Amino acid sequence: MSGEPGDAHTNSRVWFTVAVDGPNDRTDWLPVTTFGPQAEAIAEHLQQGSLVAVTGRVQSNRYDRDGESVQELQIIGSRVDFLARPRHKVTANTSE
């Protein structure tokens, strides 16, 4: 997960972004939206750097921005499995 889950508690909706390995060492960042009790669990338990597996469907959104047509893809998550919490950095004690 990149960043903290953003939430709009209207209709128990949470959105977040996941990194997906692409070809040639490229990383793609995909927005994910979840709803209901799963969204509430994500908002409560996950944080930036959490490792997750997302199952869902791809949704295409099209809109106009400054007179230009923009198309974006997002994942509507039907299932999000919590795989691992992020590792915290350990700082060295330099007061020896």
pLDDT at 11: 62
**Domain presence at residue 29:** yes
Residue 95 lies in a domain: no
Instruction: Say if residue 13's pLDDT is above 80.
Output: yes
| Residue 88 pLDDT exceeds 80 | no
Look at residue 92 and tell me if it is in a domain.
Answer: no
Model confidence at 84, pLDDT cuts 50, 70, 90, reads: confident
Residue 61 sits in a domain whose CATH number is: 2.40.50.140
Residues spanned by the domain of 23:
2-84
Q: How far is CA 44 from CA 5, 22, 47, in A?
A: 9, 29, 9
94 lies in some domain: no
Order of all β-strands in the sheet with 27-35 = 2-8, 13-21, 27-35, 68-84, 51-65
Band of residue 79 on the pLDDT scale cut at 50, 70, 90: very high
State the DSSP code for 11. T
pTM: 0.73
Mean pLDDT over the full length of the chain: 83
3-state helix, strand, coil in the chain (%, to 5): 15, 60, 25
Interval 26-44: pLDDT, tens: 999 999 999 999 998 998 8
Q: Are strands 13-21 and 27-35 parallel, antiparallel or unpaired?
A: antiparallel
- The structural domain count of the chain equals 1
Residue 91 lies in a domain: no
